[in-house]
Structure 1
Amino acid sequence: MSTTFETPVLAPPKASRSPWRWARENLFFSAWGTLATLSLALLLAWALPPLVKWALLDAVWSGATREACLTPEGTVGGGACWVFVKVRFGQLMYGFYPLEQRWRVDAAALILALGLATVLPLRAATQRAAALAGVVIGGLGAGWLGGPVLGVVVALFLAGPLLLARDLSPLRRLPAAARVLLAVGLSALAAGVGGVAFGTPKAFGWVALVLAAGLFGWRFDSLRAAGLYLLGLVFPVLAQALLSGGAYGLPFVPTEQWGGLFLTLTIALTGMAASLPLGILLALGRRSALPVLRLTCIGFIEFIRGVPMITVLFLASVMLPLFLPEGVGVDKLLRALIGVALFSAAYMAEVVRGGLQALDPGQREAAESLGLGRVQTMGLVILPQALRVVIPGIVNTFIGLLKDTSLVAVIGLLDLIGIIKTATSDPNWLGFAAEGYTFVGLVFWVLCFSMARYSLRLERTLRNGVA
């Protein structure tokens, strides 16, 4: 008779992360590291006290005019005058967008945030809550602004694609075809109600969205796919109608009045959304076996990368109208968006090409041995791995694009930097440029640092096999 003893499986010991161990691993790991740490500590000890004294201790926080920051002798005090930023805060955020219409910018930002929450790799509970909040807020908001009919139309249109998501829909046990028909039917009902309520011409836009839902509906096997549909097809149309106006009782706001952080983010997000797919296509075209396609992509990439962005903006803003027929005009902001997207796409193409070259050729051979075609091999095997490899390069390009948006000031668009220049040239606020540029620098740092940290989180998530 034999006795079998089973060894219990124990969890791995938790790594000790005491402050001293962290400092030894990250700050004092070598002689040069120790020297660099001590030098940086001395630099901070020299620079931080006067900076804190100027920015916080001696700063002026309350008031509404320049006089609040002046000494009794009429001179500028020794601390920062944050009153200047407080007074100009509305312009810094919205530019010259009409004060009573700024809620439209906030609404578009909220819709975008809810849409991104369903697409980005976040917790499933967060994605579901964001999706349901988008349906409820969108329907209630549209009903409050345009009446109950518009509210029903928007709620149906938002709820339709979400019913296709297996991980969200209460109808998840139904076959995929049944869920597709149900969602497209709700979208068709929304289009019909919208066409009857708002007139035949406006109904064409609703019908186009219904057709798009039918074309892409069979791919809606997850909440993320539905969110991509809403962000890629519905949000651009909704944002353009909401921000520009001219329909549904919303007054028209020309792009000349757009500015501040709102314009900076509009240019940056549009450039990011357009440059990534364009960059992927250019990278694939550069590696194509077709000589004409390959040479065309190489010529475009090398030409764009060989000139500064300010030249591209100048060509798009000044030279392009000279080649258009008489009487045909293109909005200045649209020209800038096209120039920024093309410029960033050329750099993105090289980043993606590096990821494609980093993969082992055996990946393609293994996919072909399984019977996958060229398109399936590239879309299901090669591209996902290549993009995962170059996440740092993609985010680095996005960060550079965000900072390069300040160049649009040279073509007359008042982004965040342009608004600061305009505000500091006001005779009533001369001498307070340091506060304005400090605030702008802090805003850009927060945005860029957040993107970098999310990039690290995304890398860890994908490395663990959870997307």
Structure 2
Amino acid sequence: MGDLATSPFVRQELIPERAAPVKVTGVVGFLRTRLFNSPTNILLTIASALLLWFTIVPAVKFLLIDAVWSGKDRTACLAQNAGHTVGACWPFIQAKFAQFIYGFYPEPERWRVNLTFLLAALLLLPLLIPRLPAKGLNAGLFFVAFPVVAFFLLLGGGLTGFGVSWTAGALSGFADGVSELGQKLSRAGEATAVIGPLLLLLGKLVGLVGWATSGLIWPLLWLNGQIHAFARPVWADLAATAVVVSLILFILNGGIRTGWRALVVSVATFAGIGIVIAVMGLDRGGLPIVDSGLWGGLLVTLVVSVTGIVSSMPIGIALALGRRSTIPLVRFFSVVFIEFWRGVPLITVLFFATYMLPLFLPGNFKIDGLVRALIGIALFSGAYIAEVIRGGLQAIPRGQSEAANAIGLSWWKTTGLIVMPQALRHVIPGLVNSFIGLFKDTSLVSIVALFDLLGSVHAAFADPVWATPTTLFTGFAFAGMIYFVFCFGMSRYSLFVENRLNAHRT
């Protein structure tokens, strides 16, 4: 037994060959592991392939293979003239391309739109490239200086005053309006027996507020009168505004000890504003005025979407912080504001801003129709952005704020330097999703007589010169491709930002 236990074993037959390992790399490996690795995935793969076959192939055939690429009118896009089944009528897009981009903007002035697009691209691209320096200066130019320059480029006109004149006019109008309201309440109190004394008291209080406001702003009104005594009041107003604002910033930032930097920045800013006024001739009437009713196409789409996106961010941040505030009045106002704007559809907001808002304004106070729509969209979108940002704020542990307080940071520094950057990083997908939705929702402005890209395409269908069976589909396909390019670009850039910010976690 011992010999058998210790004797070596020698196999007399070869071991059968093992099966080759399953390939998990390359195209075959991808198909085997991702598409055909289970009966369910096999069925989904086959269904998806059939869906793509019945959608992508007809679309490519319509847009490229059967498309008509040249022609002067509708006859080129008719099947009997083309000799085959006609797909997309691209001559229609070529003929209406300027209308799709500029709307009814006067042709001799379209260089102003092109210059605005160019300036926007030159200022936006450096902001999107992380490695480029001077982000603070670039952001200031894009978010502060560019909107003003774009406004006067697109709308035209010049300046009749500056900060002092506008402030004096606004406060004077407020005081007059309050005084008029007080008089109306007093007259209503005299005519009403039930609540007459209450209305009389309220009218006197409101009138007292108007009288006090008029008394407080008399130095500003006096300064405004002195400014308009000059031959060129715009420059006098600019100088007076620069002196007042610079002194206020100098004093608030520490005066002689630490306020010099704020003073230099303020003076440099007003000097840049003066250069812009001189170059654009805003003190001499500026460029010819182009009413916003003539704007249209991609111009309106970009103006509405970019203004809504940029302006909704600070509104959303303020409302999100207000909803988490410990001050009951601030929290109550933020909650009511958010829930109100989230509770009404955007179409209702646009209708109210366009047709109802002018009924509530004083007779001598008018707001441009496009500006009214922009304000409504900004407030509407800001309410949704607020909830997205509030979700990011709730994801930040309380220990972050407590640690900042422990080292002596104020609430503003804690929020701006510690809490908010982390919260915004967490909600990048939600923010970009809201921005994409807002960009596509700009097509709703066509309901209130603002012809955006989709509205201009729809208006072009009424031209009998291009009335063909495929014109409608060609126009919508063109608009869809433009929307897709912008939305896909925002989506991919958000993924780039996410990967860059989360690189340290991998």
**In structure 1, what is the Cα distance between the partners aligned to 2:242 and 2:126?**
20
In structure 1, which of residues 382, 394, 401 is the aligned counterpart of residue 438 of structure 2? Answer: 401
Secondary structure, in 3 states, of the residue corresponding to 2:290? Answer: coil
Question: What do the CA deviations read for 1:166-224 (whole angstroms, capped 9, x no partner)?
Answer: xxxxxxxxxxxxxxxxxxxxxxxxxxxxxxxx9541564588689989969999x9xxx
Give the one of 349, 362, 382 matched to 1:325.
362
- Alpha-carbon contact 1:209-1:234 (below 8 Å) kept: no
Pick aligned residue for 1:58 from 61, 66, 74? 66
Q: Partner of 1:124: helix, strand, or coil? A: coil
Give the fraction of aligned pairs with identical amino acids, expressed as a percent.
46
CA distance in 2, matches of 1:347, 1:71: 49
Aligned partners of 1:415 and 1:357: how far apart in 2? Answer: 37
Q: CA deviation at 1:247?
A: 5.8
Q: 2:336 aligns with which of 279, 295, 299?
A: 299
AA paired with 1:45? W
Partner of residue 49, structure 1: 57
Q: Contact 2:78/2:86 (CA < 8 Å) preserved in 1?
A: no
**Deviations, residues 52-103 of structure 1 (Å, cap 9, x unaligned):** 2221111111122112212446999522111111100000011111112111
Q: Deviations over 1:368-403 (max 9, x none)?
A: 122111111111110000000000010011001001
Counterpart pick for 2:407 among 357, 370, 376: 370
Counterpart for residue 398 of structure 2: 361
Q: Which amino acid aligns with 1:267?
A: V
Residues of 1 paired with 2:283 and 2:447: CA distance?
28
Residues 1:260 and 1:28: Cα distance change in structure 2 (over 3 Å): farther
- Match in the other structure for 2:485: 446
Query: What is the TM-score with the length of structure 1 in the denominator?
Result: 0.71
Which AA in structure 1 matches 2:500? T
Q: How many residues were matched structurally?
A: 376
SS for the counterpart of 2:99 is helix
Decide whether aligned partners of structure 1 residues 87 and 295 sit closer, same or farther in structure 2, where only a CA change above 3 A counts.
Answer: same
Distance 1:73 1:306 in 2: 53
RMSD: 3.9
Q: 1:326 to 1:125 in 2, by over 3 A?
A: closer
Q: Distance in 2 between matches of 1:412 and 1:118?
A: 35
The residue aligned with 1:107 is 115
Partner of 1:154: none
In structure 1, how many angstroms separate the alpha carbons of the residues matched to 2:283 and 2:76?
Answer: 41
User: For the pair shown, which has the larger CA radius of gyration, 1 or 2?
Assistant: 2
User: Unpaired runs of 5+ in structure 2?
Assistant: 1-23, 147-152, 154-230
Separation in structure 2 between the aligned mates of residue 96 and residue 279 of structure 1, nearest angstrom: 34
Q: 1:333 to 1:26 in 2, by over 3 A?
A: farther
State the Cα deviation string for residues 126-177 of structure 1 (Å, max 9, x = none).
Answer: 989x99xx9xxx9xxxxxx9xxxxxxxxxxxxxxxxxxxxxxxxxxxxxxxx
Structure 1 segment 40-439 matched on structure 2, within 5 A: 40-72=48-80, 77-124=85-132, 199-201=232-234, 204=237, 249-431=286-468, 432-439=471-478
Distance 1:328 1:268, change over 3 A: same
Q: Bigger shift: 269-278 or 456-465?
A: 456-465
Deviations 1:102-126 (A, max 9, x none): 1111111111112122323433289
SS where residue 322 of structure 1 aligns? helix
TM-score (norm: length of structure 2): 0.66
Are 1:117 and 1:127, in contact at CA under 8 Å, matched by a contact in 2? no
How much does 1:427 deviate? 2.2
**Quick one: which amino acid aligns to residue 462 of structure 1?**
L
Return 421-430 or 386-395, whichever deviates more.
421-430
Distance 1:28 1:301, change over 3 A: farther
Where does residue 184 of structure 1 map in the other structure?
none
What is the CA–CA distance in structure 2 between the aligned matches of 1:429 and 1:45, rounded to whole Å? 31
Question: 1: distance between equivalents of 2:496 and 2:296?
Answer: 32
Alpha-carbon separation, structure 1, partners of 2:245 and 2:41: 57
How far is 1:25 from its partner? 6.4
Q: Structure 1 residue 459 and structure 2 residue 498: aligned?
A: yes
The letter for the 2-side match of 1:410 is I
Distance, in Å, in 2 between the alignment partners of 1:75 and 1:111 is 46
1:389-440 per-position Cα deviation (integer Å, ceiling 9, x unaligned): 0000100110010011011111110011111111012222223111000110
Q: CA deviation at 1:310?
A: 0.4
Amino acid at match of 2:124: L
Q: Does structure 1 conserve the Cα–Cα contact (< 8 Å) formed by 2:77 and 2:86? A: no
In 2: Cα distance, 1:261 partner to 1:326 partner: 33
CA contact (8 A) 1:69 1:76 kept: no
Check the 8 A contact 1:260/1:417 in 2, yes or no: yes
SS state of the match for residue 259, structure 1?
A: coil
